[in-house]
Amino acid sequence: MSEGQIKKFMYVNRKAPHGTIYALESLEVVLIAAAFDQDVSLAFMDDGVYQLKKGCNTKGIEVKNFQPTYRALDDYDINKLYVEKEALEARGLTEEDMCVPVEVLTRAEIGKLMETQDIVLSF
Amino acid sequence: MAIELNGKTYETDEEGYLSDISEWNEDVAKVLAEQENVNMTEQHWEVINFLREYYNEFQIAPAVRVLTKAIGKKLGPEKGNSQYLYELFPYGPGKQACKIAGLPKPTGCI
Amino acid sequence: MLHIVNKSPLDRPALDTCLATAQPGGAILLIEDGVYAATTGNSAAGKLTQAMGQMKVYALKPDLEARGIADRVLEGVNLVDYGGFVDLVTEHATCQSWL
């Protein structure tokens, strides 16, 4: 990769984990793009917060359980994970339900962070 | 493609990666290593076993940079560097070691 | 009749339309992302509980487990496996999937 300035990338995840392919696709793009050493953050909004709900066991639906992979993000130097406060509340979830360390922010706070990005990727 | 070994057929993809990770065993690993012209030593197995443990825990084959760092943490800095890993797996620790370990091609391996 | 909902109540209006349409005596089966409605604390929990007075509510257990929410199912929701899913479809003359 040629030298270039570091850009701020935000991945915005808004879908539940297994009903659609968005969550897995996003995670794979995040891991692939991590090779480029950019300033990466992940925002989980709306049903996207369900991606991090602890305790997923996909044996019964016979699909790959990609939840453990969120715990590898730290190895990829991706440790800015923001979770929408209002989304947690509407779903009866708390920060303790998340499978990795996160920072809980309001929609408005996430919106402000979004404004500071060079690139926003929507999933 | 497929590997025939001890009366059992192991399916692989067009690049030679095992199709079903659960079919992996040391014997098929040796065949995969031969195909890669890698002469397996204790040091090689150490990396292979590390990769398999990493996959079991995180369900992902790590990128080389991540593998290097993680090996350094677990096995010491003299092993956690790309020179050491490339000496063991000249065509790339990501691609070759993952293949021998029966893992899919690493995510982030471009 | 049997109503099947496979969308999250907070993502699509499928459950709302289903609840407004379904007649007393019917049955509702929640599958895939639809199962989120059957969890405590979800903002759809109230209307689902209310519907239970007039119809039976089922949720597919493997889908709850896959989403890590099998331990917080609303009281009154009947859990079924894939065999139970098939039984429900055969027990009812008609079936509407709120896709």
Domains of chain C: 2-98 (3.40.1260.10)
B2 or A122, greater pLDDT:
A122
Where in the sequence numbering do the catalytic residues of B fall?
109
Shortest distance, CA A24 to any CA of chain B (angstroms): 12
Query: What is the CATH code for B1-110?
Result: 1.10.10.370
A31-62 pLDDT, tens digit each: 988 888 899 999 999 999 999 999 999 999 99
Contact, A49 vs A88, CB < 8 A?
A: yes
Q: Which of B51, B53, B56, B58 to mutate to test the interface with A (most CBs of A within 10 A)?
A: B58
Question: Closest Cα to residue C57, out of C40, C82, C74?
Answer: C74
* B106: Cβ contacts below 8 Å, ≥ 6 apart: B60, B61, B62, B63, B64, B67, B94, B95, B98
Say yes or no for a CB contact (<8 Å) between C36 and A16.
Answer: yes
Judge: A57–C45 Cβ closer than 8 Å, yes or no.
Answer: no
Question: Is residue A55 assigned to a domain?
Answer: yes
A5 domain residue, yes or no: no
Using pLDDT thresholds of 50, 70 and 90, give the confidence band for residue B95. Answer: confident
Decide if C2 contacts C96 (C-beta within 8 A): yes
Q: What CA–CA distance (Å, rounded) separates C50 from A70?
A: 37
Looking at the complex, report in whole angstroms how far the Cα of residue A23 sits from the nearest Cα belonging to chain C. Answer: 13
B68 phi/psi in degrees, rounded to 5: -60, -50
- Which chains does chain B touch, 3 or more C-beta pairs < 8 A? A
| B38-94 pLDDT per residue, tens | 999 999 999 999 999 999 999 999 988 899 999 999 999 999 998 999 999 999 888
Across A114-123, B15-24, C13-22, least confident range: B15-24
Name the average pLDDT for chain B: 91
Cα–Cα distance measured from residue C9 to residue B107, given in angstroms and rounded to the nearest whole number:
33
Domain ranges of chain B: 1-110
Tell me the mean pLDDT in the region A67-79. Answer: 96
CATH of the domain at A24: 3.40.1260.10
**Domain limits for position A22:** 10-122
pLDDT band of B9, cuts 50, 70, 90: very high
